[in-house]
A and B are shown apart, each in its own frame.
Chain A
Amino acid sequence: MPEDFYLYVRGATEVIPPGYSESGMRAYRHLVMLGACQMIEAHFPAIRQQLGEPAWKELIQAFVRQSAWTSHYYGDLKDEFLAFLARESDREDT
């Protein structure tokens, strides 16, 4: 599995890896975004409404793009999201 496959799925590149279809790659990127959105929204239901749709989408895209999640438990995305927000906050402060 080429590294490019997961770079595309994370939204870190727009280059379709050789041999794969553009529609299939877009479907995988969409499904990962959907999974992240659903879990974060379940734990933090107010954020989406507070931010508005464009900013919410941008936030989740950034969360997915930098991801290096390791837990077997999907529910642990909540903790990853809090750590991501803390890192982003630190980065903005420096």
Chain B
Amino acid sequence: MAGLGYRGEMADWDMSAVEADFFEVAPENWIKRDRSPLYKLLDSGRPVMLHGVSLSLGGQAPIQQEFLMAVRELMTDLGTDYYSDHLAASGDAHQLYDLFPIPFTDREVIRISDRIKEVQNILGLRIAVENTTYYTNVGEMNEVEFLMQVVERADCNILLDINNIAVNHKNHHLTNVHHFVSHVDMQRVTYIHVAGHEFDERFGLYIDTHSQTVETETREVALELFQQHHIPILLEWDNDIPALTTINQELSCLKTFIST
């Protein structure tokens, strides 16, 4: 089962020709806009999940109830129970419209899980948090320990991004994909993200650009998890979006049976 992140650039595409089983959109892009493209996706019998970018679970600003009520209304309108955002900050007490690292510390485990609980209490449902790419960070524990402590204390789900784990391993050489995945409670994983990334020589870092095909190892780990745990996989392609045929080829690769 393979889904696709639906982007504005796809507005002119014949979406009936896209071989995705489900879609994902950022609620921030649709709360105040005409939703007819999303209704067409729903009419084709394929669900639409919500994956936010601005909740700023790691930030210092108070959780905005009004925003969450707008998310809740969109969830009802689209008939979905799936809402996730990133285990990251969008800024300090303000927004900077990017994703910044949360220090991997005991103190932040408590603060962030409390914020997730607050979000879940307002929405009246369990959300998922995505493990994110980080380009530099501090803290006394490793990333997967931090992730698991947060989600267990908050009792929330996980949106497991295999590409982010691969990018972090290339940049920091700390936790490889197999080791990371082996420490994740798969019962909490709602679905899996895969994407491509690029090396940026200006920083000497791999950047999570979502602008390339999915690497073989990332795809194979995702397929293994699908085969072992029936966890759906979703392709994110946000920049330099290719032709529909290329997207379909990528989706087809995400539906291929592999021998494990």
Contact = CB atoms under 8 A, between A and B. Distances in A.
B91 A6 contact: yes
Given A9-B100, A27-B205, A70 B95 contact: yes
A25 B136 contact: yes
A36 to B, nearest CB: 8
A60 B97 CA distance: 14
Interface residues of B, number: 32
B203 A27 contact: yes
B95 A32 contact: no
Contacts of A3: 92
Given A1-B89, A20-B136, A67 B94 contact: yes
A74 to B, nearest CB: 5
Given A24-B203, A72-B64, A5 B100 contact: yes
Contact of B98 (A18, A24, A26, A28): A28
A46 interface: no
Interface residues of A, number: 32
Contacts of A21: 135-136
Given A9-B100, A27-B200, A27-B203, A73 B91 contact: no
Contact of A77 (B31, B97, B135, B204): B97
B23 to A, nearest CB: 20
Nearest to A26: B203
A9 B137 CA distance: 14
A25, A69, A74 — most chain B CB neighbours (10 Å): A74
Contacts of A28: 98, 100, 135-136
A71 interface: yes
B94 A68 contact: yes
Main secondary structure of the interface of B (DSSP, over half): loop
B152 to A, nearest CB: 22
A73 B31 CA distance: 9
Contact of A1 (B95, B100, B135, B205): B100
Contact of B97 (A1, A20, A23, A69): A69
Interface in B25-64: 28, 31-32, 53-54, 58, 60-61, 64
Nearest to A74: B97
Contacts of B138: 18-20
A32 B100 CA distance: 10
A67 B61 CA distance: 15
Interface in B99-114: 100, 102-103
B64, B136, B203 — most chain A CB neighbours (10 Å): B136
Contact of B28 (A30, A31, A72): A72
21 contacts: A1-B92, A1-B100, A6-B96, A6-B100, A9-B100, A18-B138, A20-B136, A24-B136, A24-B137, A25-B136, A26-B202, A27-B203, A32-B98, A39-B97, A67-B94, A69-B94, A70-B61, A70-B95, A71-B95, A73-B31, A73-B32
Given A5-B92, A35-B98, A70-B94, 7 more contacts: A1-B100, A20-B138, A24-B135, A24-B137, A24-B203, A27-B135, A74-B53
Interface of A: 1, 3, 5-6, 9-10, 18-21, 23-28, 30-32, 35-36, 39, 64, 67-74, 77
